[in-house]
Amino acid sequence: MNNLERLHRTSITATDIASQYWCEKQMELYKLKGPKKATVEIKRGKLIHEQIEASINEKIELEPKSYSDSVFKTVYSSYIALSNLKKNKRAREIQIYGSFSGYKLVGKIDELKILKGDTVLIEDKTRSSNRAPGEAELITHKVQVTLYKKLIDDIVKGNYSVENFKRAYHTQNLNITDDFKSQLSLLGIEPQQQSIDYYAEKLFEEYAKLELSNNIYLRYINQFTKENIKALKFYYSEKEADKILKFAIKYWNGDREALPVPFDEKWKCNHCTFFGNECKVWWPQRTLGV
Tens-digit pLDDT profile for residues 117-176: 999 999 999 888 898 889 999 999 999 999 999 999 999 999 999 999 999 999 999 999
- Residue 132 has what pLDDT? 83
CATH topology of domain 3-259: Lambda Exonuclease; Chain A (3.90.320)
Average pLDDT score over the chain:
90
- Residue 37 has what pLDDT? 54
Helix (H, G, I), strand (E, B) or coil at 221: strand
pLDDT band at 223 (very low <50, low <70, confident <90, very high): confident
pLDDT band at 210 (very low <50, low <70, confident <90, very high): very high
Work out the angle at residue 237's Cα, subtended by the Cα atoms of residues 234 and 239, and round it to the nearest 5 degrees.
150
pLDDT band at 246 (very low <50, low <70, confident <90, very high): very high
Residues 37-43, mean pLDDT to the nearest whole number: 53
pLDDT band at 286 (very low <50, low <70, confident <90, very high): low
**Cα–Cα dist 219/145, whole Å:** 11
Q: How far is CA 141 from CA 16, 43, 149, 228, 260, in A?
A: 12, 18, 13, 16, 19
**pLDDT above 90 for 245:** yes
More confident of the two residues 42 and 190: 190
Residue ranges of the chain assigned to CATH 3.90.320: 3-259
**Cα–Cα dist 286/270, whole Å:** 10
**Cα–Cα dist 108/205, whole Å:** 18
**pLDDT above 90 for 51:** no
pLDDT band at 53 (very low <50, low <70, confident <90, very high): very low
- Residue 100 has what pLDDT? 96
Work out the angle at residue 46's Cα, subtended by the Cα atoms of residues 41 and 47, and round it to the nearest 5 degrees.
100
More confident of the two residues 276 and 98: 98
